[in-house]
Structure 1
Amino acid sequence: MNVLILAVSAGGGHIKAAEAIKNYILLNEKNSKVEILDTLKYINPILDKLVIGGYIKAIKKSPSLYGKLYNYNYYQMDNTLASVSNKINELMANRLLPLIKDFAPDIIVSTHPFPNEMLSILNGNSQLKIPTLSIITDYACHSFWLYSGIDAYIASNEEMICEMVSMGIKANTIFNYGIPVLPKFLEPCSKEMIFSELNLDTGKPTVLVMGGSLGIGKISDVYSELCSIEHPLQIIIITGSNKKLFKELSELSENSKKVTRIIGYTDKVNNYMQCCDLLITKPGGITITEALACGTPMALFSPIPGQEERNANFLVKNYLAINLEDFHSYKEGFESLFNSKEKFSIIKNNCSKFYNENCGNDIYNLMKKIIANAMTL
């Protein structure tokens, strides 16, 4: 099987989803040829820096403005911003054709809205006669993901199917398999070994704090209020690529009464998620999916207005997490969870059952079916 996966490195989650599905293809069919393309970077590195740099700057400096743009464009696929995006993607789409021709994929998979639109444009111009599949990496949809030229969509939950159908997508092209995560998130690890490496107590309640690959959000505030509660616990904080935050938290932890371990970029997130009793995180689509795959309860903070707010709403509504932003203070949110064994138990139980452990294999089997159907046409 030859598979071309189109992703965009905006925040890291879309690339992670691409890597996950690549893993499952190779696990099922080791001789497959699978290539992940950072699409904007391939087409035009300068444009990639402008677009991705602008996105990151917007969510860091003006999250409320970003949220307004997201909500304004939610259902309006024909508005000005969508039209501008369409024109840009139309110009870029043709740059993919030589690569597609050389690689000769049996199917093209997309994990980001930009490649979705490019593939739809190429399909609409009859320049592309290769089946396409899109993996939506959040828990609520947006019109920017949805295009008539995409043959099939992977949704993360049943509610999304109704939402997508209301936006014009045919129900028989939507598959509720979930978002794929790397296989290691489903493989058990040794808590004793992991905690021994960190010099932590295996018998003590442990909280993991994350701010995504960029290490953004009110992590210092979260840590300060965690330290202020009387509930006995130990803390692990992953700061990702944010070196300034790493330094700040390292200094804060020196005077903390809570045993704390500050970790920068790491490839052991799966181990820490599995070994901790609670994950405190921004509700990025991939991070919360990894937590659900590990069965780890969540408390959410600093959602990016727009998609992350809607992710948080989905989790809270389905008793998979609490949203710390719903309380007067983070401390109040923590205490409401730690002081209610019943509430914590319900969330933990729901998290342990939610994720489809066959997600990766289900998507692989669907790809095989789509390719087979295309060959009969």
Structure 2
Amino acid sequence: MKAIIFSVSAGAGHARAAEAVKKHIELNNPDSEVIIIDTLRYINPIIDKVVIGSYLKSLKISPSIFGKLYDYTESDYGLALISAKFNEIMTFKLMPLINDFDPDIMIATHPFPTEMLSILKVKHKTEVPIVSILTDYAPHSFWIHPCIDAYIVSNSDMIDEISSKGIPKDIIYDLGIPVNPEFLVKYDKKETLREIGLSPNVKTLLIMGGSLGLGKIEEVFEDILQVDEHLQIIVITGNNKKLYNDLMKYNNTIIGNKKTHIIGFTDKVNKYMQASDLLLTKPGGLTITEALICNLPMALFSPIPGQEEKNAEFLLKNNLAVYLREDNVAYIIEGLMRQENRLKQMKENIKNFSKPKAGKGLSLLLKTLIKKNETEELSIM
């Protein structure tokens, strides 16, 4: 199988999804040739810097701006049309790559390349099957385009929502978002906690804000210190060096009846998720999926307006998480730690939504789409 995976570096989630897809294809089809393209950077590094830089800056300085844009683009046809024209101008710069690599299938893990590949197919520039993997728990119109051969979604609720936008149900697949196969490896909880100087007999909270370390992590951490329960706290700051430096004064210290351990960027998130009893996080699509795979209940804070708010709604509706407001963090966490049955019920619910076989299911679907396309080409000849 020859596959091109098109992603965009808007945060780490889309790129992590692309890496996960690549690993699953190679795992299930060892003779495959798979490449990942950072789409905007490939087309024009300057445009990538402007577009992605502006996106990340808006998330850090004023997330509400992104939320308003999310809402407007869902309902405002004019803005969607501007985006389509912008993408169309850039799209054809992908053709030399596609022609040279000659893929059997193309996969998109971000709305921009989904739209670009759709344009190529509409313009009859390619007949290669196209798969779009939606990396959140609710759809947005930016993902929905003609001539996409398959949409992969995280949950069954999304099927009706997407089909209401004119997409046939039989090309929408509730396979789940693929995660790195590393998340399917089981680690010993006691051993992991002992490795970092924590006790396997004390409730463990894991606080993180994705690879960028976004959200009010420090404030949440300080609120947890006020909880009247014997706890231990792991904080993963990701690539946020300022946050890491600010929190290092708490590393391996005991404050009241709470021991803390601070970690910067790590590729062992799976180990720490499996060693924890509750994840406190902003509700990014990939982080949610990874937590579900690890059967880890969540407490949500600082959702990015728009997509992450929709993710939070899904988790809360299905009792997979609780929501933390600025004024109730300690109260909610204290209550949850005392309600063993509630945590247990959340874990049971997670089993119904976790999709550990997403990667394998996707690999099988890709094979089917390739075979179908080859058969159609032969019938035409």
- What TM bracket, shorter-length normalisation? over 0.9
Residues of 2 paired with 1:75 and 1:178: CA distance? 26
Hey, what does 1:17 align to over in structure 2? 17
Residues of 1 paired with 2:97 and 2:54: CA distance? 27
What RMSD, in angstroms, separates the aligned Cα atoms of the two structures?
A: 1.3
Hey, what does 2:255 align to over in structure 1? 256
What are the residue-to-residue correspondences of 1:287-326 with 2, within 5 Å?
Answer: 287-325=287-325
Residues of 2 paired with 1:228 and 1:356: CA distance? 36
What displacement does 1:240 show? 0.4
Contact map agreement 2:297 2:321 (CA 8 A) in 1? yes
Deviations along 1:73-96, whole A, 9 cap, x unmatched? Answer: 2244x22x2122112111111110
Q: Return closer, same or farther for 1:6/1:160 CA change in 2, 3 Å cut-off.
A: same
AA matched with 1:140: A
Instruction: Please state whether the residue corresponding to 1:334 is helix, strand or coil.
Output: helix
Deviations along 1:34-80, whole A, 9 cap, x unmatched? Answer: 0011111111111111111111111111111211111122244x22x
Deviations along 1:229-287, whole A, 9 cap, x unmatched? Answer: 11111000000010100111122555733211110000000100011111100000000
Contact map agreement 2:250 2:261 (CA 8 A) in 1? no
Contact map agreement 1:122 1:128 (CA 8 A) in 2? yes
AA matched with 2:285: G
Deviates more, 1:338-347 or 1:2-11: 338-347
Does residue 276 of structure 2 align to residue 239 of structure 1? no
AA matched with 1:364: S
Contact map agreement 2:227 2:331 (CA 8 A) in 1? no
Gaps of 5+ in 1: none
Hey, what does 1:354 align to over in structure 2? 353
AA matched with 2:369: I
Does residue 86 of structure 2 align to residue 105 of structure 1? no
What displacement does 1:31 show? 1.0
Deviations along 1:329-367, whole A, 9 cap, x unmatched? Answer: 211221231222222221121123421221111111001
Contact map agreement 2:237 2:263 (CA 8 A) in 1? yes
Within the candidate set 218, 221, 224, 2:222 is matched to 224
Contact map agreement 1:296 1:352 (CA 8 A) in 2? no
Residues of 2 paired with 1:144 and 1:201: CA distance? 46
AA matched with 1:348: K
Aligned residues: 374
Q: Return closer, same or farther for 1:161/1:75 CA change in 2, 3 Å cut-off.
A: farther
AA matched with 1:282: K
Contact map agreement 1:273 1:279 (CA 8 A) in 2? yes
Gaps of 5+ in 2: 377-381
Deviations along 1:121-177, whole A, 9 cap, x unmatched? Answer: 111111111100000000000000010121110010011011101111111110000
Instruction: Please state whether the residue corresponding to 2:225 is helix, strand or coil.
Output: helix
Hey, what does 2:40 align to over in structure 1? 40
Residues of 1 paired with 2:62 and 2:181: CA distance? 36
Hey, what does 2:379 align to over in structure 1? none
Deviates more, 1:2-11 or 1:193-202: 193-202
Within the candidate set 75, 84, 103, 1:86 is matched to 84
What displacement does 1:328 show? 3.8
Q: Return closer, same or farther for 1:116/1:302 CA change in 2, 3 Å cut-off.
A: same
What displacement does 1:101 show? 0.5
Q: TM-score, normalised by structure 2?
A: 0.96
Within the candidate set 131, 134, 152, 1:133 is matched to 131
Hey, what does 1:202 align to over in structure 2? 200
Q: TM-score, normalised by structure 1?
A: 0.97
What are the residue-to-residue correspondences of 1:126-165 with 2, within 5 Å?
Answer: 126-165=124-163
AA matched with 1:294: C
Hey, what does 1:375 align to over in structure 2? 374
Deviations along 1:177-225, whole A, 9 cap, x unmatched? Answer: 0000011111111223322220111111111000111101111111011
What are the residue-to-residue correspondences of 1:49-88 with 2, within 5 Å?
Answer: 49-76=49-76, 78-79=77-78, 81-88=79-86
Instruction: Please state whether the residue corresponding to 1:30 is helix, strand or coil.
Output: coil
AA matched with 1:51: V
Residues of 1 paired with 2:335 and 2:39: CA distance? 44
Residues of 2 paired with 1:345 and 1:191: CA distance? 17
Instruction: Please state whether the residue corresponding to 2:348 is helix, strand or coil.
Output: helix
